[in-house]
Structure 1
Amino acid sequence: MLALLLLCSTAFTGLAVTADTSESVSQTGETYPGATLISVQDYEYDGRLIEVTQNGTVNWEFDPPNSRVFDAEYLDNGNVLVAVATREDPQNCPPEHLAQREEECVHNRVLELDGDALQHNETQIVWRYTWYDEFVQHHEVHDVDRLDSGETAIIDMGNNRAFTVAQNGSITWNWNGTKRLGEGSEFDQQYGSPERQGPESDWTHMNDIDQLPNGNFQLSIRNFDVIVEVNPETNRIVDVIGQPGNHSFLYEQHNPHRLTEWGTVLVADSENDRVVEYDLESGTAVWTYGGDDILQWPRDADRLPNGNTLIADSLHNRVIEVNTAGEIVWEYSGVQLPYAVDRKGVPEERGETVPGWQLEGRTENANAAVGFVRQVEGWASYVFPVWMKLPELLSLVGIGVTTVALVVDFTWPLVSRRLQSDED
């Protein structure tokens, strides 16, 4: 057992020393030009926002302390809008947000960063909207969107609401998800909805908001497996894409994007390890890319003007650009849990696009054993360093098992003699 412990320890040390933790880029085909904006959630609270060139150079970095960074977008004025969730020590938390957990709270911040300052790696906040919440996990602000009116649309996951604020910080519209999705609502009566476990539960996990050309808002309700369209004048849900529990259609999706001119919606279908584009009228998939042998928990996908698709492949810790033939032509790897991606110069919505039926899809699934191993590796990253894959995890398990066995082996004779003495 001592020899086995030494062997496992040596193997783990060697793997740790030689592990590659750097960020790198590779390009194997024609890409759409421009820098890429990547928001990095991170497995702990070391998130950041970076702008990366085609050759992998980081133009600038916004690195807020003790935070996770979610959606970000370029604004027409050259600034950058970003959603930041900061874990605060209790002395910085309002008392009402320490009622159930005394050790911390989350400070949700919507920030507009000066673009010129960012080019000099400086942070200058020109506008902000913030609030506190009780729980750090699943109560972070995930999506923000600057509207043509100058207002800012925000998703408040912790309070199951979507709202807009004016530049002076006043709330100009508010949508109550508890009222519109919960028990007794029109939605619940027609589609059914997951049971709510309590006021602080991760019930809806609303994670995206976009304003459509008709003025309505498109909301992604992740835990319901649906995308809804809401009329802000009446607050009624006027259209639903997907159905709660129908995981073959959508399964805990992120960041749906309407390709308005084609009548489709492009979705990061996260738990199905794919990106899928649906025709809104027929509900049929016109393009699919992924499978667990290609993607692992993707959470953003943007169709570029040349037909390429930019994807945040979250649990593979990379951002990829896929061409019209379904081939990876650009990859930026080593980013810890990327959340959202945007190509500079490409509008967030209503830009020039290519429909999925003009593209080649690709779906590849690993066998059950390989798929399970990859899933374990992916979720283990929340506990262990991201470079720890199956060999490192097995070495660590070996260290743990042999250590426990040795402790038992050395202590059991003492315990046995003590028990025998007590019996005598």
Structure 2
Amino acid sequence: MDTGRATVLVLVVLLSTSLLAGVAYSSGSVQETTTTDERYTLFGVQADGWFGYNNGYAAVVDESGNTVWNWSVPNSRVFDTEQLENGNILTSVAVSVPQSECPTHYQEDQYDRPCVENRVVEVDYETKDVVWEYSWFDAFPNHHEVHDADRLESGETAIADMGNHRAFTVDQSGTITWEWNASDHISRGTEWFDEHVPEGSEEEFARSGPESDWTHLNDIDHLENGNFLLSVRNYDVTLEVARNETIVETYGEPGNHSIMNEQHNPNLLENTGTLVVADSGNDRIVEINATTEAVISEYGSVPTDSNVGDPSLRWPRDADRLPNGNTLITDSRRFRILEVAPNGTVVWSHLRQEERSLVYEADRIRLDDEYLPEEPSVADTDGTLVTRTNSPLTDLYATLDSYLAFVPFLPTWLGPLPLLVAIGDLGAGLLLVREIRR
């Protein structure tokens, strides 16, 4: 045995093992809770385990992370969930249906794949009975699921129909009362397309094929002025649309990822004129000035310090400003919900790493009939959210990190760098064993 070589290998094994132990320990130290008011968080889970699975559900957890309510239907993915003023839950559900049970025109698909039944349902919180529903079939589940619905004061329900590239409202009888079709307003040949799509990028944003996912319209909000806020994910823009179907504001620009990149759940804070966005493709939460589109604050992949916790996000898909100035975030590919203070400190989190739950959307709710007031902007509070930097290398690392988390036999904290350290540790250990046997 070469004593010098064995000593080096021992040091490598000890060092790499210590590094891995430190990463594992820090991954379990993110969750912090406060003991102020009893708080309940309602959230929708697209699926446990992987995006294509059909095992989603809606749930409510208390401040300690205990599940106090859940609801699901078989073979489904659950997206938006929100509590209505009557205490019921409005949720957007996509049910995978075997092709043999689909409408006739979807049974001719040469790939024999399932279609999807999109359902917007109002669920009685106490009994879990569906008390109202609007549903329709679409070609197939992937990119044709209903992601969001919003109940209006009039009793109408506004719905974002991703598969048909439209937004619409229905009354309680199921009659469509308003409709906006993307093909009429932002497809190639429209005035908006010519004005906003950069020259040379026309093919990237042009419509192609009747079932193509060219808009990925994933969110609708009804604003105080009566207009609708629509998130067109694949165009990297959020549109404000009036009842007469006119586009009155465009936030972001197609292909300009410095503002938004495949965003989800934008929220316009009308009292401050800012837009809070889950900027999924940039792995961050961003607040922008709605007039100038200047970035006011960000939270995402940044160097950590001792009082910030773990700010790195992987494909966040919801961000809600809370009355206390904090921001409630769903971090989809890290399987968690975070409440983050304006200075970037994680003050509460709910981890669902064991189930690998793809949390889509979350709301803070009350179970005592007391509803939360209007959300303030972070600009109204002291401090700003921590900032981030972005590069092709960090983007690649973030992508690898998010997909490694889905590998069943690997712990969720084992990102690309820790994995390389683990492989090196294993190799050094095997070499040490061989050296000892010599």
Alignment partner, residue 68 of structure 2 = 59
Supply the distance in 2 between the matched residues of 1:139 and 1:347 (Cα, whole angstroms): 35
Question: Could you tell me which of 339, 347, 358 is aligned with 2:360?
Answer: 339
Supply the distance in 2 between the matched residues of 1:166 and 1:310 (Cα, whole angstroms): 31
- Residues 324-377 of structure 1, C-alpha deviation per residue, up to 9 Å, x if partnerless? 221001111115111001000499997142433634211345987675344224
Supply the distance in 2 between the matched residues of 1:24 and 1:47 (Cα, whole angstroms): 27
SS of residue paired to 1:26: coil
Alignment partner, residue 92 of structure 1 = 101
Supply the distance in 1 between the matched residues of 2:393 and 2:358 (Cα, whole angstroms): 23
Answer whether contact 1:82 1:111 (CA < 8 A) is retained: yes
Supply the distance in 2 between the matched residues of 1:372 and 1:243 (Cα, whole angstroms): 23
Letter in 1 for 2:387: T
Q: Alpha-carbon deviation of 1:209?
A: 0.4
Alignment partner, residue 173 of structure 1 = 178
Distance 1:348 1:260, change over 3 A: farther
- Residues 130-152 of structure 1, C-alpha deviation per residue, up to 9 Å, x if partnerless? 11111210000000000010000
Q: Alpha-carbon deviation of 1:381?
A: 5.2
Asked if 1:49 corresponds to 2:58, the answer is yes
Distance 1:129 1:385, change over 3 A: farther
SS of residue paired to 1:379: helix
Alignment partner, residue 361 of structure 1 = 385
Alignment partner, residue 301 of structure 2 = 291
Supply the distance in 2 between the matched residues of 1:236 and 1:370 (Cα, whole angstroms): 39
Letter in 2 for 1:361: L
Report the RMSD for the aligned CA atoms in angstroms.
3.0
Alignment partner, residue 11 of structure 1 = none
**Number of equivalenced pairs:** 373
Letter in 2 for 1:213: E
Asked if 1:314 corresponds to 2:335, the answer is no
- Residues 92-142 of structure 1, C-alpha deviation per residue, up to 9 Å, x if partnerless? 21121233342311111001000122xxxxx30000011111121000000
Distance 1:231 1:155, change over 3 A: same
SS of residue paired to 2:126: helix
Supply the distance in 1 between the matched residues of 2:278 and 2:94 (Cα, whole angstroms): 22
Asked if 1:372 corresponds to 2:396, the answer is yes
Supply the distance in 2 between the matched residues of 1:280 and 1:349 (Cα, whole angstroms): 24
Unaligned runs of 5+ residues in structure 2 are 1-23, 303-310, 424-438
- Residues 306-341 of structure 1, C-alpha deviation per residue, up to 9 Å, x if partnerless? 101100011111000001221001111115111001
Alignment partner, residue 413 of structure 1 = none
Question: Could you tell me which of 288, 292, 303 is aligned with 1:282?
Answer: 292
Distance 1:227 1:149, change over 3 A: same
Letter in 1 for 2:271: E
Supply the distance in 1 between the matched residues of 2:152 and 2:410 (Cα, whole angstroms): 37
Alignment partner, residue 193 of structure 2 = 188
Letter in 2 for 1:338: V
Supply the distance in 2 between the matched residues of 1:383 and 1:200 (Cα, whole angstroms): 31
TM-score (norm 1): 0.81
- Residues 274-302 of structure 1, C-alpha deviation per residue, up to 9 Å, x if partnerless? 11111112221112111266111111000
Distance 1:301 1:362, change over 3 A: same
Distance 1:357 1:296, change over 3 A: farther
SS of residue paired to 2:271: helix
Answer whether contact 1:226 1:243 (CA < 8 A) is retained: yes
Distance 1:176 1:59, change over 3 A: same
Distance 1:377 1:64, change over 3 A: farther
Supply the distance in 1 between the matched residues of 2:254 and 2:391 (Cα, whole angstroms): 27
Answer whether contact 2:334 2:405 (CA < 8 A) is retained: no
TM-score (norm 2): 0.78
Supply the distance in 1 between the matched residues of 2:312 and 2:67 (Cα, whole angstroms): 26
Supply the distance in 2 between the matched residues of 1:32 and 1:312 (Cα, whole angstroms): 21
Distance 1:179 1:309, change over 3 A: same
- Residues 228-285 of structure 1, C-alpha deviation per residue, up to 9 Å, x if partnerless? 11111x2111110010010111101000111111111111011111111111122211
Alignment partner, residue 417 of structure 1 = none
Distance 1:230 1:347, change over 3 A: farther
Supply the distance in 1 between the matched residues of 2:157 and 2:410 (Cα, whole angstroms): 34
Asked if 1:128 corresponds to 2:121, the answer is no
Supply the distance in 2 between the matched residues of 1:178 and 1:390 (Cα, whole angstroms): 41
Asked if 1:40 corresponds to 2:45, the answer is yes
Distance 1:97 1:174, change over 3 A: same
Answer whether contact 2:157 2:170 (CA < 8 A) is retained: yes
Answer whether contact 1:31 1:329 (CA < 8 A) is retained: no
Larger mean CA deviation between 33-42 and 223-232 belongs to 33-42
- Residues 388-408 of structure 1, C-alpha deviation per residue, up to 9 Å, x if partnerless? 64589889x9xxxxxxxxxxx
Map 1:131-142; keep pairs closer than 5 Å. 131-142=136-147
Question: Could you tell me which of 365, 374, 380 is aligned with 1:351?
Answer: 374
Distance 1:347 1:242, change over 3 A: farther
Supply the distance in 2 between the matched residues of 1:285 and 1:219 (Cα, whole angstroms): 20
Map 1:381-396; keep pairs closer than 5 Å. 387=411, 389-390=414-415
Supply the distance in 2 between the matched residues of 1:170 and 1:195 (Cα, whole angstroms): 31
Q: Alpha-carbon deviation of 1:27?
A: 2.4
Answer whether contact 1:74 1:80 (CA < 8 A) is retained: yes
Question: Could you tell me which of 205, 225, 234 is aligned with 2:216?
Answer: 205
Q: Alpha-carbon deviation of 1:173?
A: 0.6
Alignment partner, residue 416 of structure 1 = none
Supply the distance in 2 between the matched residues of 1:157 and 1:386 (Cα, whole angstroms): 34
